[in-house]
Amino acid sequence: MQESKCKVIAITNQKGGVGKTTTTFNLGVALAKQGKKVLLVDVDPQSNLTTYAGWYNSDELKYTLSDLMEQSMNDDEIKTKECILHHKENVDLIPSSLNLSALENSLAYAMSREYTLRNCLSVVRNDYDYILLDCQPSLGMLTINALASADSVLIPVQSQYFALRGMTDLFKIINKVRRQINPTLKIDGALLTLVDRRTNLSKEIEKQITDNYGSMLKLYKTQIPRAIKTAESTSQGESIFSYDKNGLVAEAYSSFAKEVLNDGKEPIKNATTKVRWPFYDRRRKKYC
């Protein structure tokens, strides 16, 4: 069997509010802008990724991820291709709905329960260069399914105190999945998000990550700045590239995509790893 060219990345952190969904969507669009074919998968019953992409009423969709996983559990035909939605910014999406929460309870009694999501993705895996899995902020069966399906893990970390709380538990789950389910799973690295360069906090978080987990993962050079435009874009069904294409966050995610494409092997020529940070213009009374 020919090895798939596709890389599946689980974007996860059991702490909420760290920018997992924002990173999944904007990284996906940034990779698409680099000519890659990308599938986003909403593995969260809250369906924030589905909403971010502009599908606001998941009840009106013919199929969502819960339907696909139920088909897999029942050994029925898995209609993955019929579930896929096509976004105007050249990324595809497998949407989620609240029904996924009920299905997670059923997974506990399913045969080969850890491989349910992987079975759903196997139908379309060869059609894509990257599949990005937006995980829920917990370490339950859905997250384990995502880790069992993934080639690697990407961990967004918010630049704030207590940002690393729960990281040890996450590493324990990743290592357990690697030992028992998915021996090739690796950790790509941690991405600092919601960074405010007006404070020294990001440097402190960088040091904490290096001191505590430096032997386990790398810290990406790119950091994602905090910006009001990012929050605004989530309500418009657009990536930051469409909503604020010349802004700091778009520049940062473009830089981050180049790091992901490079996979940390060697520096990329002309890659931007340091973005412009806002300064306070006293005359205009705003950050520029």
pLDDT tens-digit profile, the chain (288 residues): 445 789 999 999 988 888 899 999 999 999 999 999 999 999 999 999 999 999 998 888 999 999 999 999 999 999 999 999 999 999 999 999 999 999 988 887 888 899 999 999 999 999 999 999 999 998 899 999 999 999 999 999 887 666 677 788 888 999 999 999 999 999 999 999 988 877 777 778 788 878 877 777 888 999 999 888 888 888 888 999 999 999 999 999 999 999 999 985 544 333 333 334 343 344 554 434
Q: Is the pTM of this model over 0.75?
A: yes
**What's residue 287's pLDDT?**
37
Return the structure tokens found at 72. 């897999």
Residues with Cβ within 8 Å of 153's Cβ and at least 6 positions away in sequence, in order, are 9, 10, 11, 12, 147, 174, 185, 186, 187, 188
**What's residue 155's pLDDT?**
94
Residues with Cβ within 8 Å of 2's Cβ and at least 6 positions away in sequence, in order, are none
The SS3 of residue 51 is helix
Q: Strand order of the sheet with strand 92-94?
A: 85-86, 92-94, 38-43, 130-135, 7-11, 152-158, 186-195, 219-225
**What's residue 162's pLDDT?**
65
